[in-house]
Amino acid sequence: MEELFTLEKEVGRGSYGVVFEGHVAKTGQKVAIKRLPCKDPESIELYLQELWAMRVTAENHINVIALHSSLLQTGQKSLKPLRKGKLPLRLVESVLKGSVAQIRGSQSNTHRRSNSVSRLQDRTNSPSSNFSPSLSKRPSNRSRKRLSQREDERTGSLHCSALWLVMEYCDGGDLNQYLLSRPPDAHGNPSVVQQLSSAVAFLHRLGIIHRDLKPDNVLVSVTANGPIFKVADFGLSKMSEGRVDGKLTRKYFSSTCGSDFYMAPEVWGGLTYTAQADIFSLGVMFWAVLERITFLEEGTTQEQLGAYVCKGRWLMPLGEALWENADLQLCIPMKWKRAAPLPSPPGPAMCGLLFDMLASNPDSRPIAEQLESRVRAALKEDSH
């Protein structure tokens, strides 16, 4: 693979990696390029989970972010494309051994590796990319071989320094940015609910549990036919070995992970949990989207979509409140806590569905496959 990707600017940064806007030089296609630095085995394990989940979803659902290609950075200026269906063995070795593995090989192996090198032209001037702006011209194969040979002679090994994921680019930002920068849309909000319920049903059918569904992890692609909402960021996702008796809910997980305002009660309580934790997270998002409920997280000034319970002067995540009191009665709709201008509250059928999605008992929540049809039915009923 001899593609040349151009990094234009940084568009996002999290605790694990950096996302750049970029282009494929041969086609001019705009892409998002995510750099995940391979510094420790714990982070690498999350990266491999994300890579595997995105490969399984491929480009098969319009509401799930598409992965175009993946590359392994094996030197300061060299990238090695990864074959589809294969995980980079050095990164797997790093996870299993508990230390970051080095790539060692003979000079002839280095020559073969350098023949398949891809390069990124960096226009960001960002030190986080670890690429020099001097890469604007592609050197000849002979020059690249000499460079790789000198690096091997100097270091004796090549370090798996980063995993790069080349994904589709979404120009509408995340769900928070998109919705909160616009007035409430009586037709647009139900579209969000329908599209995301379809995406999660697709993921659960494939045995993928996201475990961190929240507005920040939903990206928006603006098209002539309206916005398309796409589930993204699979770093905390887990794969199930498959459904049993038609129910994915039989697969249990134990790691406490997710984002406070969207985590299910059983996750808050440190119990084992199932795919139904995703349904709870969706319920929080749907409630917030339909009523435009927002909050300010401590230490920030940026509004976020999310439902909650008031406890004195403090906002308590729904999952935490329900873990403390499983019989807590939620107030749906939450008219007096909605951000102005106020949209119309959800109708009775959708309110009933939200109550079911936010049930403290995971088994009382609809499974994703049922949810998709129930969303359609509730919206249709309320429209009459």
Q: Which of 128, 150, 168 is the last residue of a domain?
A: 168
Which CATH number is 276's domain given?
Answer: 1.10.510.10
Q: Do 189 and 319 sit in the same domain of this protein?
A: yes
Tens digits of per-residue pLDDT, 53-83? 898 887 789 999 999 988 888 776 677 888 8
pLDDT of residue 227 exceeding 60: yes
User: Residue 307: which region, alpha, beta or left (left: phi > 0; alpha: psi -120 to 50)?
Assistant: beta
Q: Do 113 and 190 sit in the same domain of this protein?
A: no
Which CATH number is 64's domain given?
Answer: 3.30.200.20
| Angle CA 100–102–103, to nearest 5 | 145
Band (250; pLDDT cuts 50, 70, 90): low
Mean pLDDT, residues 318-333: 94
- Cα-Cα end-to-end distance for the chain: 54
Q: Do 200 and 73 sit in the same domain of this protein?
A: no
Q: How many domains does the chain have?
A: 2
Among the residue ranges 33-47, 93-107, 160-174, 260-274, the one predicted with the least confidence is 93-107
Tell me how far apart the alpha carbons of residues 256 and 346 are, in angstroms, rounded to a whole number: 31
**Among 358, 371, 357, 374, which residue's Cα sits nearest to residue 317?**
358
Q: Do 95 and 152 sit in the same domain of this protein?
A: yes
pLDDT of residue 376 exceeding 50: yes
pLDDT of residue 97 exceeding 50: yes
Tell me how far apart the alpha carbons of residues 42 and 95 are, in angstroms, rounded to a whole number: 7
Residue 300, pLDDT score? 77
Q: Do 144 and 69 sit in the same domain of this protein?
A: yes
Mean pLDDT, residues 136-151: 39
**Cis omega (within 30 of 0) on the bond before 343?**
no
Q: Do 191 and 152 sit in the same domain of this protein?
A: no
Q: To the nearest whole number, what is the mean pLDDT of the chain?
A: 81
Tens digits of per-residue pLDDT, 233-242? 998 998 876 5
Q: Which of 127, 153, 168 is the last residue of a domain?
A: 168
Q: Do 217 and 324 sit in the same domain of this protein?
A: yes
Q: Do 150 and 179 sit in the same domain of this protein?
A: no
Residue 100, pLDDT score? 72
> Which has more confidence, 229 or 74?
229
pLDDT of residue 340 exceeding 90: no
Mean pLDDT, residues 321-337: 89
SS3 384: coil
Q: Answer yes or no: 212 catalytic.
A: yes
Percent of the chain with pLDDT over 70: 78
Tens digits of per-residue pLDDT, 6-33? 888 898 887 778 999 999 888 889 999 9
Domain span at residue 187 reads 175-383
Band (380; pLDDT cuts 50, 70, 90): very high
**Among 381, 363, 308, which residue's Cα sits nearest to residue 339?**
308
Residue 122, pLDDT score? 58
Q: Do 43 and 111 sit in the same domain of this protein?
A: yes
Mean pLDDT, residues 276-286: 97
Q: Do 158 and 182 sit in the same domain of this protein?
A: no
How remote is the C-alpha of 121 from its chain's centroid?
A: 25
Tens digits of per-residue pLDDT, 251-260? 788 888 889 9
Beta bridge partners of 293: 338
Are the C-beta atoms of 230 and 215 separated by less than 8 Å? Answer: no
Mean pLDDT, residues 303-318: 91
Residues in the chain: 384
Among candidate residues 212, 216, 233, 278, the one labeled active-site is: 212
Q: Do 152 and 230 sit in the same domain of this protein?
A: no
Please give the model's pTM, rounded to 2 decimal places: 0.82
Cα 159 to Cα 19, 229, 256: the distances in Å are 21, 37, 31
Q: Do 181 and 201 sit in the same domain of this protein?
A: yes
pLDDT of residue 349 exceeding 90: yes
DSSP state of 99: S
Q: Which of 114, 147, 168 is the last residue of a domain?
A: 168
> Which has more confidence, 192 or 15?
192
pLDDT of residue 381 exceeding 80: yes
**Among 126, 130, 37, 24, which residue's Cα sits nearest to residue 77?**
130
DSSP state of 237: -
